[in-house]
Amino acid sequence: MKTVIIGGSHAGLSLAAQLRHLSPDAEITIVSADAEPPYQRPPLSKGYMSGKVTFEQVLLRPEDWYEPNRIELLKGARAEAVDRKDKEIILTDNRKIAYDFLVFATGARPRRLPAEIGGHLPNVHVMRDHDDAVLLMEKMKEGQRLVVIGGGYIGLEAASEAAKKGVQVTVIEAADRILKRVASAETADDIRALHQGHGVTILENAQLHEIHEMNGVADGVVLADDTVIAADFIITGIGVYPDTALAETAGLTYNNGIVVNERLETSDPSIYAIGDCASFPYRGTMIRLESVQNANDMGIVVAHNILGEARSYKPVPWFWSDQFELKLQIAGLNTGFDHVITRKGLREGAKSHFYFKGDEFLAADCLNDGAAYMMARKILEGGKVLTREQVADPGFNMKSLL
């Protein structure tokens, strides 16, 4: 039995490691477009850019792990086509690789600004891969001016790392507040105050008109109200889109990701999709989750399913973000919330924002509040009932629910 994994992502490595653990005889090939061994992407905009960790420390597995575990890693290789009838993939160099099971772990790609408004200029960057991180580390020097376009987590993490290095940072957000799509106004208020306290300028309701060009490079941005902000370099953090191009040409069903069922099978039962590229059923709707936890857990489930166990994927999502001295840990998914209750943590300055939809506990944003985060995760994972009244009561001990 041969499994071919397209994408040297966290999801792909999770699958490969679990499949090898479960089946000593499985043939496993990973086709990765990256020149480097597979690595973790979240730390690139966190510990790696801050210099706290080396690239070797963000590798998903040491480079000498693959051969003794009989996992074939094809670096710098791209799949160009999938022949579902003959069950083989064709690489750009015309090599053909047969499979019994094929897994898309192709992840997501960063959205870029249109070339017509300056998105093509050489000092307009995204923050997605190792090359991006290395380039930005070279540019983040004291006295430089950075404009970050987009007030989501990636943009704010980049702003944090730049400001810590003495860069003059301005974040522009088109919505009426930062983190509009992913967090409550309460969380946004805390993170805005954090950045402003470190000298970062945050402009909300700021519509980008164009990137100003001088001698072939960007030297600033022009807003819709004609405000001009000077910049030596620019980072765009305006979201990502799932990398589904190959799956589409293979005739697989897609809709904001490669559509899979609860067992993570695509419309072809011999092909799976996992990680950021997969759209899966969750609480009566189809969603994509861009998180390490989702990638890791999906890989484990598919490993079992390839071996015939028919497992369903039922996640309890979690995420994290490091900005300045803040560790934000998020348990659950806040989609559809209509109440937010703030609870002080046990440590000085710690607090958490708990999300509810009616009386149903959905998620918690925990700011330097690791104890609350662990309780929230355990409550969600265990299916326990946490009420708004309990959260609002400072004397209530959430451990009692466990």
Stretch 103-125: mean pLDDT: 96
The whole domain housing 171 covers 112-236
Instruction: Give the N- to C-terminal CA distance of the chain in Å, as an integer.
Output: 43
Residue 265 is given by DSSP the state: B
Does residue 320 fall inside a structural domain? no
Residue 254 is given by DSSP the state: B
Residues 194 and 138 both lie in one domain: yes
The encoded tokens of residue 113 equal 């600004």
Instruction: Give the end of a domain, one of 209, 236, 263.
Output: 236
Contact between 206 and 223 (Cβ < 8 Å): yes
- Residue 250 has φ and ψ, to the nearest 5°, of -80, -5
- Determine what percent of the chain is predicted with pLDDT higher than 70: 100
The encoded tokens of residue 190 equal 């805390």
Of 309, 303, 312, residue with least CA distance to 26: 303
Residue 47 above 90 pLDDT? no
Contact between 23 and 307 (Cβ < 8 Å): yes
> Structural domain tally of the chain?
3
Residue 144 above 80 pLDDT? yes
Residues 266 and 377 both lie in one domain: no
Stretch 252-268: mean pLDDT: 98
Residues 189 and 301 both lie in one domain: no
C-alpha torsion sign, points 359, 338, 370, 348? negative
Stretch 117-140: mean pLDDT: 92
Write the CATH number for 344: 3.30.390.30
Secondary element (H or E) of residue 190: helix 185-197
Instruction: Give the end of a domain, one of 275, 306, 337.
Output: 306
Q: 42: pLDDT confidence band, cut at 50, 70 and 90?
A: confident
Residues 296 and 345 both lie in one domain: no
pLDDT digits (tens, 9 = 90+) for 299-313: 999 999 999 999 999
Stretch 211-222: mean pLDDT: 97
Residues 246 and 192 both lie in one domain: no
Residues 46 and 138 both lie in one domain: no
Write the CATH number for 192: 3.50.50.60
The encoded tokens of residue 247 equal 């799956």
Chain Cα centroid distance, residue 239: 10
> What does R_g of the chain's alpha carbons equal in angstroms?
22
Does residue 311 fall inside a structural domain? no
Residue 367 above 80 pLDDT? yes
Q: 141: pLDDT confidence band, cut at 50, 70 and 90?
A: very high
Q: What is the pLDDT of residue 51?
A: 78
Stretch 363-368: mean pLDDT: 98
Residues 371 and 346 both lie in one domain: yes
Does residue 225 fall inside a structural domain? yes
Average pLDDT, the chain: 95
Instruction: Give the end of a domain, one of 306, 333, 355.
Output: 306
Residues 92 and 136 both lie in one domain: no
Residues 139 and 82 both lie in one domain: no
Q: What is the pLDDT of residue 53?
A: 84
Sheet holding 96-98, edge to edge: 79-83, 88-91, 96-98
Q: What is the pLDDT of residue 93?
A: 96
Residues 300 and 337 both lie in one domain: no
Does residue 10 fall inside a structural domain? yes
Least confident of 74-83, 124-133, 357-366: 124-133
Return d(Cα 324, Cα 191) in angstroms, integer: 10
Stretch 361-378: mean pLDDT: 97
Does residue 313 fall inside a structural domain? no
Residues 133 and 197 both lie in one domain: yes
| Largest Cα span, the chain | 66
pLDDT digits (tens, 9 = 90+) for 222-258: 999 999 999 999 999 999 999 999 999 999 999 999 9
- Residue 182 has φ and ψ, to the nearest 5°, of -120, -10
Return d(Cα 274, Cα 220) in angstroms, integer: 39
The count of other CB atoms within 10 Å of the CB of residue 257 is 24
Return d(Cα 75, Cα 34) in angstroms, integer: 6
Q: Which residue type sits at 185?
A: A
Q: 46: pLDDT confidence band, cut at 50, 70 and 90?
A: confident
| Angle between helix 153-164 and helix 185-197 axes, rounded to 10 deg | 20
Q: What is the pLDDT of residue 44?
A: 80
Contact between 253 and 239 (Cβ < 8 Å): no
Does residue 284 fall inside a structural domain? yes
Does residue 314 fall inside a structural domain? no
- At residue 226, the 3 state secondary structure works out as coil
Residues 45 and 187 both lie in one domain: no
Q: What is the pLDDT of residue 147?
A: 98
pLDDT digits (tens, 9 = 90+) for 153-203: 999 999 999 999 999 999 999 999 999 999 999 999 999 999 999 999 999
Q: Which residue has the tokens 């990638």?
A: 295
Does residue 318 fall inside a structural domain? no
